[in-house]
Chain A
Amino acid sequence: MMVKLRVNGQTHTADVEPRKSLLDTLREDFRLTGAHAGCEHGVCGACTVLLDGDAVRSCLIFAVQADGYDITTIEGLAPAPGELSVIQDAFCETHGLQCGYCTPGMILSAHTLLQRTLTPSREDILEAISGNICRCTGYGQIVEAVEIAAERLRQSNALHAAPEAVK
């Protein structure tokens, strides 16, 4: 089946089998390999992408179901090539990544949280990343990274966080 998907603001097309996940389509057909294939049955969160701004599992959606949504992958978060988003920067700074496998999913989950609120409690952060497993078990630094990113976004006039902050 032909699918036409909008990913990071660009339209991509591919001819896929109905059983091909959005994850595999992103990685194999569109060469967007930032979303990682971990468990491939919805448990680990490494494949997290945003559909219309909400974090979802790209391994639990078939590409044929994904037309009409605004899909954002980790590649779509940085403001410009070679730059990092505030959240990505914070992960680097606090050593919020070790092997890096869970990192794109963690950052996208953190991103949706900070789109909703710039004053998350520790519980809010834990809830937001509760669907993302870090097998290096570096959760402490990940939570710290999200806290630092929230603080920086509060202090800046960050336009990318402001529009939905009142939701």
Chain B
Amino acid sequence: MKPAPFDYVRPETLAQACELLADEDARAIAGGQTLVPMLAMRLARPSRLVDILRLPGLAGIRADGDAIVIGATTRQAHALQDPLVAASVPLLARALPWVGHPPTRNRGTVGGSIANADPSAEIPLVAATLGAEIVLATVDGEMSMSADEFFIGPMLTSIIPGQCVSAVRFPVWSDKRIGFGFHEINARKSDFAFVAAAAQVALDDDGRCARLVLGIGGVGDRPIGLDVSQLIGTRLEAKAVSDAVTAATANLDAMSDLHASADYRRRVAVALGARAVTDAAAEARGEAARGAVQ
């Protein structure tokens, strides 16, 4: 379990980091909680590691218009304790306790989890569900793309050499009555999700669903937002929710492995997806949500 040899550089600026990352064989490292195991198992063999963890200005959480911007090297543990995240992106706050365990959250970063794009990872799931923007630093300046464009497969993203995730913009909903649901099934807490579901609901004054997003992770090759638009305008009755989630997951390509078959994953996706929407609706109505935080 020893990595193959590599060079290590710690650039002073983000522009320098991008230049160094223009080399195809270079990899960015921040917290390293996913990359270092891959190096140890020699699943990744970069010739050079570009350490971006201490770059000035890359860590931190701030409000910017209708979004909360989380700097790429913000530790997951800091995001979990951050009052701005708790108040403005509660769905992320509920997902973060499921990300690894305390020692990996102390070191692991929000941007790192996004850049690694593990299909079962919780932060990418929340980003895909809410339609977050991934901000990339490039040799030519800054650009951004939607989570849906960014995640293209298992551990695969649209990042090209010379680019580096610099921040994630999570949209903030300003609706008055909103609720959140997050559920996950895994072998033991802190382990990879077999299936995870995240939902956010806004109700109008009448108690009808005004906005709804639902995302599923761990099932396919990337986290995906499901189309449950048929529920907009309804009162989110249990039967309708269950039918809509069943229809939306019907054509999901599901992974199969030693721990969970594709059939199992599809079945659990329906159950957790419906549960997440139902919880979110209950919370938006002012009823206590069940099991959203563990």
Binding site for B on A (CB under 8 A): 1, 17-19, 21, 39-43, 45, 48, 51, 54-57, 59-62, 64-65, 109, 112, 127-128, 130-131
A131 to B37, CA, bound (A): 15
A55 to B49, CA, bound (A): 24
Do A61 and B107 form a contact, CB below 8 Å, given A40-B40, A42-B36, A127-B102?
A: yes
B103 touches A131 (CB 8 A): yes
Query: What is the number of contacts between chain A and chain B, taking CB atoms within 8 Å?
Result: 83
Type the 1/0 row for B32-61, where 1 means its CB is closer than 8 Å to any CB of A. 110011011100000001010100000000
B106 touches A56 (CB 8 A): yes
Residue from B1, B53, B106 within 8 A of A65 (CB atoms): B53
B8 touches A18 (CB 8 A): yes
Q: Which of B5, B53, B107 has the most CB of A within 10 A?
A: B107
Residues in B whose Cβ lies below 8 Å from that of A56: 103, 106-107
Do A60 and B102 form a contact, CB below 8 Å, given A18-B49, A19-B6, A41-B40?
A: no
A60 touches B100 (CB 8 A): no
Q: Is B2 an interface residue (CB 8 A)?
A: yes
What are 10 A-to-B residue pairs whose CB atoms are below 8 Å? A18-B6, A19-B2, A21-B36, A59-B36, A60-B32, A60-B107, A112-B102, A128-B102, A130-B190, A131-B101
Residue from A19, A42, A45 within 8 A of B3 (CB atoms): A19
Not counting A51-B106, A65-B53, A112-B102, a sample of 12 additional A-B residue pairs whose C-beta atoms are within 8 angstroms of each other reads A18-B6, A18-B8, A18-B49, A41-B40, A42-B33, A51-B107, A55-B106, A59-B40, A62-B32, A62-B49, A127-B102, A131-B101
A41 touches B37 (CB 8 A): yes
A52 to B1, CA, bound (A): 26
B41 touches A41 (CB 8 A): yes
B51 touches A65 (CB 8 A): yes
A57 touches B103 (CB 8 A): yes
Residues in A whose Cβ lies below 8 Å from that of B103: 45, 48, 54-57, 109, 131
Residue from A42, A61, A64 within 8 A of B37 (CB atoms): A42
B32 touches A54 (CB 8 A): no
| Range class of the B interface residue count | 20 to 34
A48 to B107, CA, bound (A): 12
Type the 1/0 row for B101-114, where 1 means its CB is closer than 8 Å to any CB of A. 11110110000000
Residues in A whose Cβ lies below 8 Å from that of B49: 18, 62
Residues in B whose Cβ lies below 8 Å from that of A62: 8, 32, 36, 49
B4 touches A19 (CB 8 A): yes
Residues in A whose Cβ lies below 8 Å from that of B189: 130
Q: Is B77 an interface residue (CB 8 A)?
A: yes
Residues in B whose Cβ lies below 8 Å from that of A112: 102
Residues in A whose Cβ lies below 8 Å from that of B53: 65
B33 touches A41 (CB 8 A): no
Residues in A whose Cβ lies below 8 Å from that of B51: 65
Q: Is B7 an interface residue (CB 8 A)?
A: yes
B100 touches A131 (CB 8 A): yes
Report B32 CB to chain A, min CB distance, Å: 6
Q: Which of A43, A51, A65 has the most CB of B within 10 A?
A: A65
- Give the residue name and chain of the B residue nearest to A54 (CB): B106
Residues in B whose Cβ lies below 8 Å from that of A18: 5-8, 49
A18 to B101, CA, bound (A): 26
B1 touches A40 (CB 8 A): yes
- Give the residue name and chain of the B residue nearest to A128 (CB): B102
A115 to B102, CA, bound (A): 14
B102 touches A131 (CB 8 A): yes
A60 touches B36 (CB 8 A): yes
Do A57 and B107 form a contact, CB below 8 Å, given A18-B6, A42-B33, A65-B32?
A: yes
